A and B are shown apart, each in its own frame.
Chain A
Amino acid sequence: MKILVPLKRTADPDNANKIKIGAGGAKIETTGLEPKANPFDEYAVEASLRLLENGPTKARIAGDKLTIVSFGPKEAATNIRQALAMGGDDGLLFHADDESLDGDLVARALAKVVEQQKPDLVVLGKQAVDGDSNQVGQVLAELLQWPSATFAMSIELSADKKTVVVGREVDGGVIKLKLTLPAVITVDLRIVSSKSVVNHVTPATFAYPEGARFTPLPMIIKAKTKPIVEAPIASLGVDLALKSKYVSFALPPARKGGVKVKDVAELVQKLRTEAKVL
């Protein structure tokens, strides 16, 4: 089985409050923020590896393959390399300025990549933590006319590898959908829980550590020799026109901190007489 994971280079989401707005509100400046892989895409890499290996030994199932693809600046190769160190086999990087991309264009470009690569599954994060658009997976599925499941918290691959049952975390509960491959899956946080991915090769008793895997030094060294093919995004023959335009950016209104209260009694009193919410 072959899986394609699209991965976005984003500014460190844990320091997103340090972004600045350029002169006249023209752009968002992320200078000084460490570029990291979008955390949900990293989870997509982890989930994909769990589909493709025997958990206890991490041995790859014969013939299976994981390709990482990214659209962004040349520096995004570093982030692809990190995913290869986790266990990806090869990478594709299509050069583009972040400002010239949006979710719709990325989905259309991805559709072209899928035509070339012919994966059985595309697994990606439910949203990127910079643009927060939450649309690439859904648009890609429609363009490809592939079945899809968004917000996945569990994936069970059938023994014959023809279908997946995906648990979707939605308002008020979990919906399970059975998809016939090839398909698109977007992942949510819980996909990296210890038993969230079932591939019928990893023993049912095996529990993964929570979260995306740690990459030991030998894997990092090995990843340096794995191939990353780079090309301009225009080489995909996709219309580069965007369907929306960002007119300006601003910082949100700051919220002022209030007061510290000394105990519960004072808190209750303030909530009753001052805030009038009790």
Chain B
Amino acid sequence: MSKILVVAEVSAGKLKKTTHSAISFARMAGMPFDVLVVGHGVGAAVEELRAFGAGAVKVADDARFAHYVGEVFAPTVSAAASGYAVVAVTASSFGKDLAPRVAARLGAGFASDIAGVDASGGALSYKRPMYAGNAVASMQVTTSTQVVSARQSEFAAAAPSGGASPVEAVAAVDAPLAGRVEFVSFDEVKSARPELAEAKVVVSGGRSLKSAEGFKTVLEPLVDVMGAAMGASRAAVDAGYVPNDLQVGQTGKVVAPKLYIAVGISGAIQHIAGMKNSKVIVAINKDPEAPIFQLADYGLVADLYKAVPELTEAVKKIRAEG
């Protein structure tokens, strides 16, 4: 029977939550699945993954996989994919880099950053947002093996289903390109805040915050009192106020939290693409004509320098009252 191979994402041996979305995809596709873990010192990640109902958890544990390098991972993932109908990964920066490489090696068609899967028609049909989410395509892959990357915000994290999948070792495959790509460093931005793609509340700032200092002094107190993740518009990233991995939008992160607060963000098309599926959207902007108000559930036309500290204090008070 045709099966799915879910490729897990690990970092420094630890399982990343992104993996749960790819598992969720596999469950929705309605086919049995195995999970593949490629990394180094991944024992704990493997144990964690045994509880999700996979037929097997396959493991390639090798020092050469200590850091993710596409050229080094792709040959092992592709070899392990032999015999599977679908190779699935979450469309994080890891999945976006890896999936097309695996597709190329397998000669497989690739459905990128999908937002839905329909298994009812015999063949799998995928829902793919295009044009910054302004069109949704229904597409199918016509090769015998398919590669899929699943959008994290559209596939809710799978919960463990119990049981203990058997563990199988998979051989690490030599990468001919290994000698021409060298991992130099990973500058990790440590943050106590939740990850953008996983947060229940996201507070994002735009160019109206005017500087990195503006993000720090005006926005961050609200972010922290809300227990939120911080996001930003592309304009704020372009201006250098915050790093690019905080960017919410078509070419940044796509998020769908319970509450999204857009501060000083006008609502360019490419930003809306990244947050329009949030459950409740709040917009604070001094321009009453800003396009963001067309999709905000609650719009406040106000000077953010006044409104945001006020909102921060109000939330602080509510939290204090418990």
Residues in chain A within 8 A of chain B (CB atoms):
11, 13-17, 19, 21, 28, 40, 103-104, 107, 126-127, 129-135, 138-139, 141-143, 145-148, 150-151, 153, 165, 168-180, 183, 188-190, 193, 210-211, 242-252, 255-261, 263-265, 267-268, 270-272, 275, 277-278
Contact = CB atoms under 8 A, between A and B. Distances in A.
Q: Give 5 closest A-B pairs by Cβ, nearest first.
A: A243-B109, A258-B297, A142-B104, A135-B100, A138-B100
Given A21-B135, A261-B300, 6 more contacts: A28-B135, A173-B187, A243-B108, A252-B276, A260-B301, A261-B299
Nearest to B270: A13
Contact of A261 (B138, B141, B177, B298): B298
A53 B133 CA distance: 38
B295 A244 contact: no
Contacts of A277: 201, 258-259, 279-280
Contacts of A247: 125, 137-140
Contacts of A130: 130-131
B70 A150 contact: yes
A178 B181 contact: yes
B143 A243 contact: yes
B135 A251 contact: yes
Chain B interface size range: 35 or more
21 contacts: A13-B270, A14-B268, A15-B269, A40-B251, A103-B100, A104-B104, A126-B251, A129-B250, A138-B97, A138-B99, A138-B101, A145-B176, A177-B181, A189-B237, A246-B139, A250-B135, A257-B297, A257-B299, A260-B288, A263-B300, A267-B311
Nearest to A136: B100
* Most chain A Cβ neighbours within 10 Å, of B94, B237, B282: B282
B189 A178 contact: no
Contact of A250 (B92, B136, B234, B259): B136
Interface of B: 11, 18, 67-71, 74, 92-94, 96-97, 99-101, 103-105, 107-113, 125, 129-143, 176-177, 179-189, 195, 197, 201, 234, 237-238, 240, 243-245, 247, 250-251, 258-259, 268-270, 272, 276, 279-282, 288, 293-302, 307, 310-311, 314-315, 318
* Most chain A Cβ neighbours within 10 Å, of B18, B103, B240: B103
Majority secondary structure, A binding face: mixed
Contact of A139 (B101, B136, B294): B101
Given A21-B135, A173-B186, A244 B142 contact: yes
